[in-house]
Amino acid sequence: MDTELTEAKLFELNDLAVKARQLVIETLVEAGSGHSAGPLGMADIFVAFYFHILKHDPKNPEWNDRDKLVLSNGHICPIQYVTMAMAGYFPIEELKTLRKINSRLQGHPSRHYLPGLETSSGPLGEGISQAIGLALAAKLDKNKQYIYCIASDGEHQEGNTWEAIMYAGKNKINNLTVIVDRNNIQIDGFTEDIMPLEPFKDKYESFGWYVLEVDGNNIHAFEETVREARAIFNKPTVIIAHTIPGKGVDFMERNYLWHGNPPDVVEVPGSPAKGDQAKIALAELRTLQGKIESEHQ
pLDDT of residue 124: 86
Q: Classify residue 1: in a domain, yes or no.
A: no
**Distance (Å, whole) CA 166 – CA 158:** 13
**Number of domains the chain contains:** 1
Q: How far is CA 195 from CA 58, 158, 179, 180, 245, in A?
A: 39, 10, 20, 16, 18
pLDDT of residue 137: 98
Locate the DSSP E strands across the chain.
68-71, 147-152, 176-182, 185-186, 189-190, 210-215, 237-242
Do residues 271 and 252 touch, judged by C-beta distance below 8 A?
yes
pTM value is 0.97
Q: Classify residue 155: in a domain, yes or no.
A: yes
Q: How far is CA 242 from CA 207, 212, 239, 265, in A?
A: 21, 11, 9, 28
Q: Which of 34, 54, 251, 64 is nearest to 146 (CA)?
A: 54
The C-alpha angle with vertex 99 and arms to 247 and 177, in degrees rounded to 5, equals 50
Determine the structural domain holding residue 167 and report its residue range.
7-296
CATH classification at residue 188: 3.40.50.970
From first to last of its 297 residues, what are the pLDDT tens digits of the chain?
778 899 999 999 999 999 999 999 999 999 999 999 999 999 999 999 999 999 999 999 999 999 999 999 999 999 999 999 999 999 999 999 999 999 999 999 999 999 999 999 978 889 999 999 999 999 999 999 999 999 999 999 999 999 999 999 999 999 999 999 999 999 999 999 999 999 999 999 999 999 999 999 999 999 999 999 999 999 999 999 999 999 999 999 999 999 999 999 999 999 999 999 999 999 999 999 988 888 876
Q: Classify residue 2: in a domain, yes or no.
A: no
pLDDT of residue 125: 87
pLDDT of residue 172: 97
